[in-house]
Amino acid sequence: MTGSSYRYLERQVQDGVLFVTIRREEKLNAMNDGMMAELTDCFLRIRERADVRAVVLTGTGKGFMAGADIEGYGSFDIGQFFAFQQKGREMYRAIETCPQPVIAAVNGYALGGGFELALSCDIVIASEKAKFGLPEVKLGLVPGGGGVQKIARIVGPFVAKELTMSGRFLTAEEGKSLLFVNQVTEPDKLMDTAAAFARMLAGQAPLAVQALKKLIDEGRDASLETAQAYDRSYLANLFHSEDGQEGIAAFIEKRTPRFQGK
Ligand code: COA
């Protein structure tokens, strides 16, 4: 596997936005070893690409991703199962720590590891056809990709327990009211909406956008005082950056800033 020969992913760059599309449509994009390795490789490579300022991640067909490949689970021994979980962790970390912002354009089922995939992104835009859920309880399991703790921090313990213990699916509108979906669109407007949002992000000062991603993700588990100290330290660095100086000069000169990511 190399970046140019993925089996399960398609990639395309346009106007500073990288579109990554998962293709295993006949299995609702259920995640096997190969797909996981490709997603990890893809997201580790993105950080080296100065031409990519935002990423849109989506799926084909009825699935965004219907979770781990349950058929694969059927043939795993405990060692293989742990190795699969570990690779999953590496994949989610590659996305969470990707410096550029990642938009999940959720076209259909985002279940189990697929919901955890969306929760590893920075912005979630969902089609009216999207369905979210952590149904592992129905297999006698619990989610292993970080979703339990993430959803509990987003929706609170009572709703998180209801969702994970029932394993029920949520609509995109429910996701929006529970604050893990930013925007809901008609199915045929999903990609245009996600692309427009990504292009807007690609036009912002890259270092400031990347700083905001880190500050919000890393500040969440720090004390307020510590997190606010991070904010001030990033601000001081950005003030000295070429983009910071360009943004200030452009405002004073009443012109559009040209941000270079420096
Ligand atoms: N792992 C492996 N295969 C999966 C899968 C998964 N997580 N999710 C769906 N598929 C496969 C189905 O087995 C089926 O394959 P087949 O055509 O060879 O039989 C194909 O994808 C289409 O799915 P199907 O169940 O026929 O579609 P549906 O519209 O009737 O139901 C779901 C859709 C999402 C409700 C149902 O597929 C489902 O419950 N999937 C499992 C979701 C899950 O538990 N994820 C967490 C895993 S830890």
Rg (CA), the chain: 19
Overall average pLDDT of the 220-227 stretch: 95
Does 42 sit in the ligand 1 pocket, CB within 6 Å? no
Residues 6+ apart with CB under 8 A from 191: 56, 58, 105
Residues 6+ apart with CB under 8 A from 122: 101, 102, 103, 213
- Our CA angle for 181, 23, 129, nearest 5°, is 35
pLDDT of residue 212: 98
Task: Say how far apart CA 35 and CA 144 lie, in whole Å.
Answer: 17
Structure-token pair, residue 130 = 């999207």
CB contact at 8 A, 121 and 114? no
Task: Say how far apart CA 224 and CA 85 lie, in whole Å.
Answer: 32
Q: What is the three-class DSSP state of 1?
A: coil
Structure-token pair, residue 197 = 């949002």
Distance of CA 150 to the CA centre of its chain: 13
Residue 45 has pLDDT above 70, yes or no: yes
pLDDT of residue 245: 97
Residues 120-164 have pLDDT tens digits of: 999 999 999 999 999 999 999 999 999 999 999 999 999 999 999
Nearest CA to ligand 1 atom 13: 27
**Residue 200 burial by Cβ neighbours in a 10 Å radius (0-12, 13-18, 19+):** exposed
pLDDT of residue 1: 62
Residues 179-210 have pLDDT tens digits of: 999 999 999 999 999 999 999 999 999 999 99
pLDDT of residue 186: 98
pLDDT of residue 3: 58
Residue 5 has pLDDT above 90, yes or no: no
Overall average pLDDT of the 168-183 stretch: 98
**How far, in Å, is the centroid of ligand 1 from the Cα of 28?**
6
Domains of the chain: 9-202 (3.90.226.10), 206-253 (1.10.12)
Residue 4 has pLDDT above 90, yes or no: no
Lowest mean pLDDT segment, chosen from 1-10, 76-85, 132-141, 249-258: 1-10
**How far, in Å, is the centroid of ligand 1 from the Cα of 136?**
13
Residue 232 has pLDDT above 90, yes or no: yes
**How far, in Å, is the centroid of ligand 1 from the Cα of 153?**
28
2 — pLDDT class (breaks 50, 70, 90): low
- What backbone phi and psi angles, to 5 degrees, belong to 229? -65, -40
Identify which of 22, 23, 28 to mutate to test ligand 1's pocket (most ligand atoms within 8 A of the CB).
Answer: 28
**How far, in Å, is the centroid of ligand 1 from the Cα of 189?**
25
The mean pLDDT value of the chain amounts to 96
DSSP β-ladder status, 17-22 and 54-59: parallel
pLDDT of residue 236: 97
Structural element, H or E, at residue 171 = strand 170-171
Catalytic positions: 116, 136
Overall average pLDDT of the 62-89 stretch: 94
Residues 98-112 have pLDDT tens digits of: 999 999 999 999 999
Nearest CA to ligand 1 atom 4: 27
pLDDT of residue 258: 95
Q: What is the three-class DSSP state of 211?
A: helix
